[in-house]
Each structure stands twice: as structure tokens, then as C-alpha cells.
Structure 1
């Protein structure tokens, strides 16, 4: 009986670790940050919401951002997730996140999301890229927003709210 319960606990631990999604938070620095390559700064610059984001806290846009490689596909090369390095570039409960994916020898724009946190949902796969969930922040925030990869970039998935009976 001990062996059976031990095996059960081991399987439960393994399954729970597989189901845990990778999450990136606006308030937390990346665990393994990279310096955003200088040739990719104009790509992010094209997709800024406002001059405030463009000239926010630091002397240059590159200094105002932080980046990290993320695995958004089980087969493609790692993508780059970019976010403001300082909260002064963010709203009260949300921040911009930019996604750059490898396109041949360089990177191309793959999405601009506004959220408190971004969760990579490995249970959802479309066009060889995992789904993303933009998680809200704050007590009065709206519901989570889901994004799917349409073959070129991440687009918001339209989900009808479930009716509670």
C-alpha cells in the first residue's frame, strides 16, 4: 500500500509540474534577461502606444526595455519577449509586452499585448505556437484576455462569456 500511495504522489507531482504555465509579470524582472539587440529596437519602436512609452524613464528606448528569450513554440527557435524595465512606462495595473519571433536570419513583430502578466499556455497550440493569456491586475480589473497565433502574429481570441445557470 505504501508503494502505491508513493507512486500516486510522484505522478501527481509530475503532472502538476507539467501543467504549470510559464508566467511573466510586469512588476518582476526577467530571470534570464538579455540585452535587446540594437537592430530590434526600431521594431519595438514601431509598435509603441505613445510618445510616453517611447521616451519614458531612461535616456533611450533600449535602456527603458528589458528582454528575454521565451519558448512560444515546441519546434521554432525561441522568441523574444520585451517589456518595460521600469514601472514608469506602465499603467497602474497593466504594461505593454512585445513579442518578436524568429523569421529567417532576423526577428519580426509577432504581437503587442497589454496585461499585468503574460502566461504561456502550452495546452493551446495553433499554427505551431502556444496560446497566451493576458492576466489582469488590480481588484477591479476585467477578465483575462486570450491570444492565439494566426500564422503571423498573436491576435485576441474572441470568447463568448459562459452563461451561469
Structure 2
């Protein structure tokens, strides 16, 4: 069954999408952020959060933003330059709590991308997702990102090598 972008963002046509906001992660947000990492498949900047000490998890938040849906913390995101600052190529790390329906993840991707484009020129946005990360793969596809391919053997977990699936979205340069 094919899911349209509208259905992905608003599974119930009567329910409005959440109001998205974000802020830098502060010390007051650490408890909420640490709670995300207790979920078995919460993969924000790591494929194995279950083996990290608390201080290691907190170090993943240094330049991250807390993502809120209707004022409630629901995930984290961070962006990094991919290449030179002026190239307008970014790498996005985004992860939401598994408590949210997958359809809402598409809405989050769209809002984060919209916000990024509002503040700077964006030519290429890249997203990496583990090839065994069903929720992450489905979310990237629902967000309409282009699947570029798999780089095999990038990580090791549970005694086997896993690949990373590359997704992207490209815009025409304006400058």
C-alpha cells in the first residue's frame, strides 16, 4: 500500500499536525534527553546507545537541538556542514521518540528542513540511516528523501556488520 505525503503527515485528516518548535539542549533538558536514549531503537548520533555511559550520551547533545511537538520534548536533531561552510551542504541527524506515530516523523522532517532553509541556503541535505533501522528508514522515505544507496559494513553490532543507507534532498543553488 502506498502512503501519500499528506497521509504520512496527517494520518487522521481531522487531527491537526503538531506545532513544532526547537531549542538548544540545556542542562534542564538532560533528563528528557536521557529518557529518549532508554528506548532500544533511539539512534541519535550512535547505533549503540545502550552501551554508552551517561556522560557519553550527554556529549552527543553538545550542539543538538531539542525538538518539541506542541511544547512537549519528542526528539533531537543536529546539523553539520558537509564540506566547506559556503557549499550549503548539510548532514542532518534527527531522531524522535518511538512513542510518536511514524506519520508524525514525516511532519518533523518537513518542519526541520523548512526551518533550516529559512536560515540559510541549502543545496544538499544528507541523512544516514542504519540499514536495520526500520523506523528511521520508513521516516526518511515518508519525508520524501531520495534513497541514494547503501554503504555496507559501516558499523558493527550484535556480532555482525551493518550498512548505512544514504538519503538526500537537493535544491537548485540560489547564489
| TM tier relative to shorter chain | 0.3 to 0.5
Task: Point out the structure with max Rg over C-alpha.
Answer: 1
Q: Which has the higher helix share?
A: 2
Query: TM (normalized to structure 1)?
Result: 0.34
TM-score with structure 2 setting the length = 0.32
